[in-house]
Structure 1
Amino acid sequence: MKISFHGADREVTGSCHLLEADGKRILIDCGMYQGSRELDDENAGDFGFDPRSVDFLLLTHAHLDHCGRIPLLVKRGFTGEIIATAATRELARLVMLDAARLHEEEAERSERHAHRRGEKTRKPLYGTLDVLDTLDHFGRNAVYDEPLSLAPTLRATFYDAGHILGSASIRIEDTEGSGRSVVFSGDLGNRDRAILRDPQFPPPADVVVMETTYGDRSHKALAPSIEELYGAITDTFKRGGNVVIPTFAMERAQEILYYLREGIEQGRLPRSMPVYLDSPMAISATEVFRRHPDCFAEKDRAMFDEGKDPFTLPGLRFTRETADSMALNNLVGGAVIMAGSGMCTGGRIRHHLRHNLWRHDSSVIFVGYAGRGTLARILIDGAKHVNLFGDDVPVHARLYTINGFSAHADRDELLAWQRALRPKHTVLVHGDEEVMRSFATQLSDTEVHMPGIGDEILV
């Protein structure tokens, strides 16, 4: 077996790994680099392999940094089969279509500006038609714990990674010949959270390729994080302001809705509290969640069996249309506004920040990962002013960073997962380099690798 590395290598985003075994070339994920606009050229660059030579693409989950370049892969010649769980398939469709729309809108803006300045226009990375072509390549649906044949002596098994709906770790084994096995962790979830099951431990493997996003720290406990969320909302309402929550459309939006519902049912939050989910993709993703209670933890699946929707609360309002979103700018106070993107790199959240950051009575609550160079990280790091749509906006709102809602396993959970698999080789990916080095010091009885882009490992 040979593994080569083409993304999320000594960095957090752009997951893309190529396995060559039994005469087959198998790509694990094909994600977008995310963060600053300087990454545009990396996303448009060469993959480091010929897309036409790839037989299978196994998709661990539907986050943009794992599926966002698949349409470009197809555009450049990939004709193989894409395999994912049924839930991942549905969510990836939403994510890729949304990404195509943003690429097309950005290209249109670029064309207008370039025309005025006499500059060259920038073409979209891919468009809606490319995504529709991509959907034709989705083949078999993976089912957790059920092996899939990739070749006469090669099989892949998906295991629940507990990260987002449908997420998986993937174990690939040569059933004859070398008998080698490799597990790609995908992104591993945080244990004991709402909605989803805890991550599974796949059977032991010779090689583990694993994420290290939070490999140098422990998460804040969940219960105090929920208390902090309720306290931040209550305090903001007392000051007369709005609560703005930058929200990832998949998993985080549904998780926050879940806890807001619980807070209202427990009398911790006002029943009349208006909550706006101002994200068409998050609204659609919530509908996908409702179609897949089979992925839920037992107690939350039981809610559905009893006819109770864990994502519904009295004051919840969906705002799909742009006009409805713009109307939220007139809210004086007492509302919770959830909008994307979670890192504030684009989308409707930037408009809500523009209208609320300067207000002393409002609050912004960050409940997810904020990558380097993103507006979310700039705010968390203490910026006093930010530029939004050409305006210099002072930061007077109260900012909260609540880390206990992370969808990623922390250091101790990652270590427990790695030790359960007892690999001879542990390959660290999907993390900042300094985090990987810290995590590597905790590993024993395994050979540790930290590959860079284009590196290869023979196993």
Structure 2
Amino acid sequence: MHLEFCGAAQEVTGSCHRLQLGGTQLLVDCGLFQGGRDADARNAEPFPFNAADIEAVVLTHAHLDHSGRLPLLVQRGFRGGIWCHPATADLVAIMLEDSAGIIEHETAVTNRKRERKGLPPVKPLYTRADAEAVLEHLRPLRFGETVEIADGVRLRLQDAGHILGSAIAELWLSEGKLQRKLVFSGDLGHRGAPILRDPTPIAEADLVIMESTYGDRCHRPWEDTWRELGEVFDADGQKGNILIPAFAVGRTQELLYVFARHYQDWRLERWHVFLDSPLAIKATAAYRRHLELYDSEACRVQRERGDPFVFPQLRMSESVEDSMALNQVRSGAIIIAGSGMCTGGRIKQHLKHNVWRRDCQLIIAGFQARGTLGRQLVDGARHIRLWGETIRVAARVHTIGGLSAHADRDGLLAWYRGFAAGPTLALVHGEPEAIASLADAVRGLALRVLCPQPGERIDLATVAPSH
């Protein structure tokens, strides 16, 4: 009985963990590597296992760093079930279609350039057909239900509170006389965040595999975050445009929700708010279909006001023509667009047309992985490169970390303390500094703390049972 860390070890993206017991193999997540010059090459590499040998996948949530290589897995021979919450099944369908469309478009652009140079064409990482093939393998499972997903493997999902349908995975493993319970945190939500419930506490485990994205820092209190955000919108004087790169699933819906709630407080009637993301528009529709996942406050808002994501001055820019028209707007626009780390999508066009203007403001409202354009902007870059052009950064950049959908250091520690006995803990999904910092903080609580390296394997027989 072994656990192998095939991704998100000593880094934030590429989540993929392989479990093997007897002749049974399964994965927890199969996500894209994001950020860094070698991300495309890493995603195209063969898996460190035979895809046809994997019997099942547990998908914790729909973000592409957890789901984005599923089309490759199916393309390369996977034939089993992909177990996830029904809301995740809804979201992953639209996210993989969008991802495949971007990959196909970028490959077509690359091949036109290669053709002019007399070079042979390259194949896309995967296609829309590959993404659609994943949907046949989805096996929806509601929170709290237990099911056997392979010989000797039982699964129960619990609410992680990160995005719609995000799950903590409880896995009971049995191989002969050896029995172990593993708990994968997935991505844990930020306590007190709008719309969704807080992460579910789990009482028992022999091994906990926990994310550590913000393992070395704490978020600002929510009251301070709302005040800081409101000050950006309510500033007097000449106003240019405000750009908000936002993840299409999770962050965008939170922003729309709080904009609606603070519409008068923040004097948003003075702005035109554009949601410039077809994917985010579809994801928001999915949020409307799953009211059962809302927290009590969001349920109350929905009952009293109706749709919690709409307000005056909000415009949906779905078509390419609508998006391009925003390039002519020089002031008075708040533009929410993907991608959240500025690695692709329509936000790059808006940066090209605005970030060199002194009256432009840029709100960074989520984690920015190393190697991404968003991280460059957070780190104070005075120039950026877009499509071979060097562009001066004159805009004012606001980093509002309190909006993160991830649990911070205190939230991670609080969730881990929910286990009755301090089980062995493996820290993943974080940069090395964050992992090391969180490991130091938790050593007095955990029986043993592991900081696995990429490709490292753990013999689960060596993991002491916590009961």
What is the Cα deviation at residue 429 of structure 1?
0.8
The equivalent of 1:304 in structure 2 is: 302
Q: Equivalents in 2 of 1:252, 1:98: separation in Å?
A: 17
- Name the amino acid aligned to 1:370: Q
Q: Equivalents in 1 of 2:289, 2:46: separation in Å?
A: 37
Q: Equivalents in 1 of 2:315, 2:41: separation in Å?
A: 38
Superposed, 1:386-397 pairs within 5 Å as: 386-397=384-395
The answer as to whether partners of 1:4 and 1:456 remain within 8 angstroms in 2 is yes
Secondary structure, counterpart of 2:441 in structure 1:
coil
The equivalent of 1:352 in structure 2 is: 350
Distance 1:272 1:398, change over 3 A: closer
What is the Cα deviation at residue 260 of structure 1?
1.1
What is the Cα deviation at residue 285 of structure 1?
0.3
What is the Cα deviation at residue 222 of structure 1?
1.5
Q: Equivalents in 1 of 2:342, 2:371: separation in Å?
A: 11
Identity value in percent: 44
Q: Equivalents in 2 of 1:240, 1:10: separation in Å?
A: 41
The equivalent of 1:104 in structure 2 is: 104
Deviations 1:107-127 (A, max 9, x none): 111111111112233211100
Distance 1:423 1:174, change over 3 A: farther
Superposed, 1:337-376 pairs within 5 Å as: 337-376=335-374
The equivalent of 2:447 in structure 1 is: 446
Superposed, 1:86-235 pairs within 5 Å as: 86-139=86-139, 141-151=140-150, 153-174=152-173, 177-235=177-235
Can you give the 5+ residue segments of structure 1 that lack an aligned partner in the other structure?
none
What is the Cα deviation at residue 186 of structure 1?
0.4
The equivalent of 1:427 in structure 2 is: 426
Deviations 1:324-368 (A, max 9, x none): 000011112111110011111111101111111111111111101
Q: Equivalents in 1 of 2:43, 2:265: separation in Å?
A: 47
Secondary structure, counterpart of 2:435 in structure 1:
helix
Secondary structure, counterpart of 2:178 in structure 1:
coil
Q: Equivalents in 2 of 1:269, 1:23: separation in Å?
A: 61
The equivalent of 1:47 in structure 2 is: 47
Q: Equivalents in 1 of 2:265, 2:218: separation in Å?
A: 30
Q: Equivalents in 2 of 1:153, 1:125: separation in Å?
A: 34
Task: Tell whether 2:311 aligns with 1:313.
Answer: yes
Superposition TM-score, scaled by structure 2 size: 0.95
Higher deviation after alignment, 162-171 or 327-336: 327-336
Task: Tell whether 2:268 aligns with 1:267.
Answer: no
Q: Equivalents in 2 of 1:52, 1:159: separation in Å?
A: 28
Deviations 1:46-84 (A, max 9, x none): 211111011110100000000000000000000000110
What is the Cα deviation at residue 36 of structure 1?
2.6
Secondary structure, counterpart of 1:312 in structure 2:
coil
- Name the amino acid aligned to 2:427: L
The equivalent of 1:18 in structure 2 is: 18
Higher deviation after alignment, 443-452 or 357-366: 443-452
- Name the amino acid aligned to 1:455: E
Secondary structure, counterpart of 1:6 in structure 2:
strand
Secondary structure, counterpart of 1:20 in structure 2:
strand
What is the Cα deviation at residue 391 of structure 1?
2.8
What is the Cα deviation at residue 22 of structure 1?
6.0
The answer as to whether partners of 2:56 and 2:150 remain within 8 angstroms in 1 is no
Q: Equivalents in 1 of 2:92, 2:276: separation in Å?
A: 20
Q: Equivalents in 2 of 1:296, 1:449: separation in Å?
A: 34
Q: Equivalents in 1 of 2:250, 2:145: separation in Å?
A: 24
The equivalent of 2:77 in structure 1 is: 77
The equivalent of 2:465 in structure 1 is: none
What is the Cα deviation at residue 23 of structure 1?
4.4
What is the Cα deviation at residue 374 of structure 1?
1.0
Tell me how large the CA RMSD over aligned residues is: 1.5
The answer as to whether partners of 1:207 and 1:427 remain within 8 angstroms in 2 is yes
Q: Equivalents in 1 of 2:266, 2:355: separation in Å?
A: 26
Task: Tell whether 2:287 aligns with 1:281.
Answer: no
The answer as to whether partners of 1:204 and 1:423 remain within 8 angstroms in 2 is no
Q: Equivalents in 2 of 1:153, 1:298: separation in Å?
A: 37
Q: Equivalents in 2 of 1:67, 1:8: separation in Å?
A: 12
Can you give the 5+ residue segments of structure 2 that lack an aligned partner in the other structure?
461-467
4+ aligned runs moved over 4 Å, structure 1: none
The answer as to whether partners of 1:22 and 1:151 remain within 8 angstroms in 2 is no
Superposed, 1:58-69 pairs within 5 Å as: 58-69=58-69
The answer as to whether partners of 1:104 and 1:124 remain within 8 angstroms in 2 is yes
Q: Equivalents in 2 of 1:179, 1:396: separation in Å?
A: 58
What is the Cα deviation at residue 177 of structure 1?
3.7
Q: Equivalents in 2 of 1:133, 1:54: separation in Å?
A: 16
Deviations 1:229-263 (A, max 9, x none): 1111222x632211111111011001111111112
Q: Equivalents in 2 of 1:406, 1:106: separation in Å?
A: 29
Secondary structure, counterpart of 1:144 in structure 2:
coil
Q: Equivalents in 2 of 1:424, 1:275: separation in Å?
A: 47
Secondary structure, counterpart of 2:104 in structure 1:
helix
The equivalent of 2:243 in structure 1 is: 244
What is the Cα deviation at residue 268 of structure 1?
2.6
Q: Equivalents in 2 of 1:13, 1:455: separation in Å?
A: 16
What is the Cα deviation at residue 314 of structure 1?
0.6
Superposition TM-score, scaled by structure 1 size: 0.96
Secondary structure, counterpart of 2:52 in structure 1:
helix
Q: Equivalents in 2 of 1:307, 1:22: separation in Å?
A: 54
- Name the amino acid aligned to 2:447: T
Which of the residues 403, 406, 409 maps onto 1:405? Answer: 403
The equivalent of 1:458 in structure 2 is: 459
- Name the amino acid aligned to 2:423: K
Higher deviation after alignment, 380-389 or 56-65: 380-389
Task: Count the aligned residue pairs.
Answer: 456
